[in-house]
Amino acid sequence: MTRPYNFSAGPAAMPAEVLQQAAAEMLDWQGSGMSVMEMSHRGKEFKSIIEAAESDLRELLAVPAHFRILFMQGGGLAENAIVPLNLSRGGAVDFVVTGSWSQKSFKEAGKYCETRLAASNAAQAHTELPDPASWRLSRDAQYVHLCSNETINGIEVHHLPDLKALGSDAPLVIDFSSHVASRPVDWSRVSLAFGGAQKNLGPAGLTLVVVREDLLGHALPICPSAFDYKTVADNGSMYNTPPTYAIYMAGLTFQWLKRQTEGELCGVAAMEQRNLAKAALLYDFIDQSQLYVNKVAGNCRSRMNVPFFLRDESRNEAFLAGAKAAGLLQLKGHKSVGGMRASIYNALPLAGVQALVTYMRDFEKTRA
């Protein structure tokens, strides 16, 4: 079966194998006589699903034993409130603003703590990554917030900062929504990572939080119980009814990830090699083109989200219509920046990027 290539920024393409298995099991999961959607979350069937999902994710991301994995709801936007409700202790928090998402996080946190702007690339129109050596980190910050991949602006942090070396003892919190599981995470530098599932992990409606155990138990009294990390952890992500089907789909995706290999590499390490190859192909093509342009500095271009513009914007509609006709879907850029955006997450294969580059080359040549 040939499916179109889907470049949506999220909810995003999922592996066809995962969707096929879900369709096959829809009315009867493994002889249980129930759809996964119909199972009590307290029953042994669903318990086996969520436990496998957590264990597979722990293996894939090499999450250390002193971190807890939480399956929550509300997406990254809800976490913009939930993180400071749990970690700020009402004190000060340092924010590194590198694009739309970290800007939103910065603004929302102001409801719960003193927010300090440690660095910003607003003056560079969110096209560069502020050098960590220049960040103004506070001595008394409860944590430092960094969005490690800005979905809208196409900026990725390729080297997580060593806060200790920068003179800060604060935990580093990263929003890894749009590049989770696309590359390994250096947990020695991260204390909490959160992300919506709908880019690289599964369907929308599931939020992943990976948090160092000693950060649990410090929520503000006004934190809703359902969003208190300690309550969620103590109840195995089942204090409230979890989004069971989304967890099942994420679990199938984790199994798919574990099966992926590149040479001797497997899992997330294999995905990283593929993602490097995909990104290199697309950026190299854009850079040599006369029609297309990507404005992000070379050292922080996202491997996942590639925003680009046509130098002749009057051709935007024709570009999108031709792409759709060629089986290349959802390439329109975010409304706040315009232009185009190719999101090339794990589930989008190299062949999809090759097809995109072929189309872009053809479009540039024949209709210029």
Q: What residue ranges bind its own copies (CB under 8 A)?
A: 1, 3-4, 6, 8-14, 16, 19-20, 22-24, 26-28, 33-35, 37-43, 73-78, 80-82, 85, 108, 111-112, 196, 198, 202-206, 221-222, 224-227, 239-246, 249, 327, 329-330, 335
Q: Give CA–CA dist 19/111, Å, rounded.
A: 40
Q: How far apart are the first and last CA of the chain?
A: 34
Give the active site residue among 94, 175, 230, 278. 175
**CB-wise, 36 or 157, nearer to its own copies?**
36
Residue 285: CB minimum distance to its own copies, A: 24
What secondary structure does DSSP assign to 142-179, as a single string?
EEEEEESEETTTTEE-SS---TGGGT--SPEEEE-TTT
Establish whether 199 is a catalytic residue: yes
**CB-wise, 135 or 248, nearer to its own copies?**
248
Q: Give CA–CA dist 252/274, Å, rounded.
A: 20
- Sequence-separated (6 or more) residues with CB below 8 Å from residue 208: 57, 69, 70, 71, 72, 180, 193, 194, 195, 196, 197, 201, 250
175 is in an annotated binding site: yes
- Sequence-separated (6 or more) residues with CB below 8 Å from residue 227: 72, 74, 78, 82, 85, 86
Residue 177: CB minimum distance to its own copies, A: 10
Residue 201: CB minimum distance to its own copies, A: 11
101 is in an annotated binding site: yes
Q: Give CA–CA dist 268/183, Å, rounded.
A: 6
89 is in an annotated binding site: no
Residue 197: CB minimum distance to its own copies, A: 10
Residue 187: CB minimum distance to its own copies, A: 26
151 is in an annotated binding site: yes
Half-sphere exposure at residue 82, Cβ-oriented, CA atoms within 13 angstroms: 28
Establish whether 131 is a catalytic residue: no
**CB-wise, 6 or 98, nearer to its own copies?**
6
**CB-wise, 190 or 209, nearer to its own copies?**
209
Give the active site residue among 29, 101, 228, 332. 101
**CB-wise, 132 or 195, nearer to its own copies?**
195
Q: Which own/partner pairs from 122-131 qualify as long-range (CB within 8 Å, at least 24 positions apart)?
A: 122/97, 125/295, 126/98, 126/99, 126/100, 126/150, 126/153, 126/155, 127/153, 127/155, 127/295, 127/296, 127/297, 128/296, 128/297, 128/300, 129/98, 129/155, 129/157, 129/297, 129/299, 129/300, 130/96, 130/98
Give the active site residue among 199, 230, 278, 332. 199
Establish whether 295 is a catalytic residue: no
Residue 150: CB minimum distance to its own copies, A: 16
**CB-wise, 20 or 299, nearer to its own copies?**
20
Sequence ranges of the binding site for pyridoxal 5'-phosphate: 101, 151, 175, 198, 240-241
Sequence ranges of the binding site: 42, 101, 151, 175, 198, 240-241
- Positions annotated as catalytic residues are 101, 175, 199
Sequence ranges of the binding site for L-glutamate: 42
